[in-house]
Amino acid sequence: MTDRLQVIWNKRLVGTLDRHKKGRVVFQYSQDWIRNESAPVSLSLPCRKEKFAPAASTAFFENLLPESNTRTVLAFRHRFGKKDTYAFLENFGEDCAGALSIIPADQDPDFTPGQYENITQELIEALDKMLVDPGRYKLYPEMRQAKLSLAGAQDKLPVYIKNTQFFLPKNSGSATTHIIKPINAGFNDIPRNEAFCMELAQRSGFSIPRSKIKKIGGHELFIVDRYDRQELNKEIVRIHQEDFCQAMGYPAEQKYQETGGPGFAECRELIDEYLSNKGATNRLLFIRMMIFNYIIGNHDAHGKNFSILHSNDFKLAPFYDLVSTQVYPLENKFAMAIGRTFRLDRIKNHSFEIFARDMNVRKKLLISLTNEMCEAVGNEVNGLMADHERSYGEARIYEDLNRVIQSNIVQLKTFFR
Q: Which residues belong to the active site?
A: 300
Contacts 24+ apart (CB under 8 A), 289-294: 289/201, 289/206, 289/319, 290/264, 290/355, 291/369, 291/370, 291/373, 291/374, 291/412, 292/201, 292/204, 292/206, 292/322, 292/373, 292/377, 293/322, 294/338, 294/408, 294/412
The DSSP annotation for 278-303 comes to GTTHHHHHHHHHHHHHHHHT-----G
Q: Give the count of alpha carbons within 13 A of 99, CB side only.
A: 21
Counting DSSP H helices and E strands in the chain, the numbers are: 13, 17
φ/ψ (deg, to 5) at 125: -65, -40
Q: Which helix (H) or strand (E) holds 28?
A: strand 25-29
Nearest residue to 4 via CA among 105, 92, 109: 105
CA dist., res. 41 & res. 301, Å (int): 24
By the 8 A CB rule, do 388 and 397 touch? no
By the 8 A CB rule, do 147 and 95 touch? yes
By the 8 A CB rule, do 59 and 28 touch? no
**CA trace torsion 404, 406, 411, 415 (10° rounding):** 130
**CA trace torsion 81, 82, 85, 89 (10° rounding):** 100
In sequence order, what E strands does 198-319 have? Answer: 211-216, 219-225, 229-232, 235-238, 241-243, 307-310, 314-316
Nearest residue to 297 via CA among 321, 327, 318: 327
Residues 6+ apart with CB under 8 A from 110: 171, 172, 173
CA dist., res. 26 & res. 61, Å (int): 10
Residue 199, CA distances (Å) to 92, 203, 414 in order: 31, 6, 27
